[in-house]
Structure 1
Amino acid sequence: MSMMSIRAATPRDREAIRLVEEHAFGQQAEAGLVDALVTGGDAVTELVAEEDGQVVGHILFSRLFVQSGGKNFAAVALAPLAVEPSFHGSGIGGALIREAHIRLRDAGETLAVVLGDPAYYSRFGYSHARAEKFESEYQSEALQALTWGDAPEAGRLVYASAFGSALAA
């Protein structure tokens, strides 16, 4: 019986991560976003899931700022989360999210934002109600937030520049 393991991503994983992202999303945009966030120094937590020595899942949280009252409050953005299609439904995505949340809390992060399926991400504590007062070009029901402590309730979300570049591509 094989055993799935989760660990921090390393430079050796770049090609495997790219393939997981491309397979999961059926395009290259998310893989390009990951590359841009990592090379731009915006990655905060990046994990991979391995099964029998093969990378089958990936999650990245990048630096995000909430601008409010002339101040910048550091937060993180979950994007992207990817699992090889043949492993969908096996719990790998959820395991990656839970492990990343533990590491982020332990590192002192207090606010995470995601743009994704509310039915999926609400299972991990994300809610649109927590994110609806944020100003963002992504403001919609899919914009959700999760807090682990004292974090701003409102303000402008400022994503890493790689997000703008990836969307323009």
Structure 2
Amino acid sequence: MRIRNEVPADEAAVRQLNLAAFEGPGEADLVDALRGKTFPYVSLVADDKGLIVGHILFTPVHLPEHPRARLMALAPMAVLPGYQRSGVGSALVEEGLRQAHEAGAGAVVVLGHPGYYPRFGFVPASRHGLRCEYEVPDEAYMVLELQPGHLDGLGGTVHYHAAFAAL
């Protein structure tokens, strides 16, 4: 298996993967709505001999109170059910964080399982004075600083691309 950038030929397989991994079409529709609409944009797939078994997406989010903040959101991440708990998700997160950093992100936020994301260094976003624009549990909304000190003095409500409102 290898982690690589999504290419246009992967679009249908990424959609099918998200449909298989989540209940309903929300995440698949979100990926389709965001593709090519944001910059920076980090979209990676896990390719197992031509079969797309995982996908992860990072897109910009904004702190209106701090327009210079360079934040990205990890959302969504999907792994085919038969490949879950095999390291695919971890490999996608690690490479995605590396590429988000290379793209200039100072920090990444995620709404996810509080038992999973801390292994990568994510902590509750509230520790840095950050809140999600949507009502979510505090322990599930997390942030990881990619550039030391980037979150110093920041705080406020993180705003997502309008496509997230459809979820």
Same fold, TM-score > 0.5, yes or no: yes
Per-residue CA deviations over 1:109-133 (Å, capped at 9, x if unaligned) read: 1110000001100111111155562
**Matched residue, 1:24:** 21
Whole-Å separation in 2 of the counterparts to 1:113 and 1:12: 28
**Matched residue, 2:150:** 151
Report how far residue 74 of structure 1 moved: 2.5
| DSSP-derived class of the 2:62 partner | strand
**Matched residue, 1:128:** 124
Partner residue of 2:11 out of 14, 17, 24: 14
**Matched residue, 1:52:** 49
Per-residue CA deviations over 1:29-65 (Å, capped at 9, x if unaligned) read: 1000101111433561000001111100000001101
**Matched residue, 2:65:** 68
Whole-Å separation in 1 of the counterparts to 2:26 and 2:111: 15
Whether 1:91 aligns to 2:91 is: no
**Matched residue, 1:119:** 115
Whether 1:162 aligns to 2:163 is: yes
Kept in 1, the 8 Å contact 2:62–2:160? The answer is yes
Kept in 1, the 8 Å contact 2:109–2:125? The answer is no
Identical pairs, percent: 38
Amino acid aligned to 2:26: A
Kept in 2, the 8 Å contact 1:131–1:144? The answer is no
Unaligned runs of 5+ in 1: none
Aligned pairs, how many?
162
- Structure number with the higher strand fraction is 1
Structure 1's 131 and 35: CA in aligned 2 closer, same or farther, altered over 3 A?
Answer: farther
Amino acid aligned to 1:162: A
| DSSP-derived class of the 1:17 partner | helix
Kept in 1, the 8 Å contact 2:56–2:77? The answer is yes
Instruction: Give the root-mean-square deviation of aligned CA atoms.
Output: 1.7
Unaligned runs of 5+ in 2: none
Kept in 2, the 8 Å contact 1:115–1:138? The answer is no
Whole-Å separation in 2 of the counterparts to 1:8 and 1:19: 17
Amino acid aligned to 1:103: Q
Amino acid aligned to 1:147: E
Q: Which runs of 4+ in 1 moved over 3 A?
A: 129-132
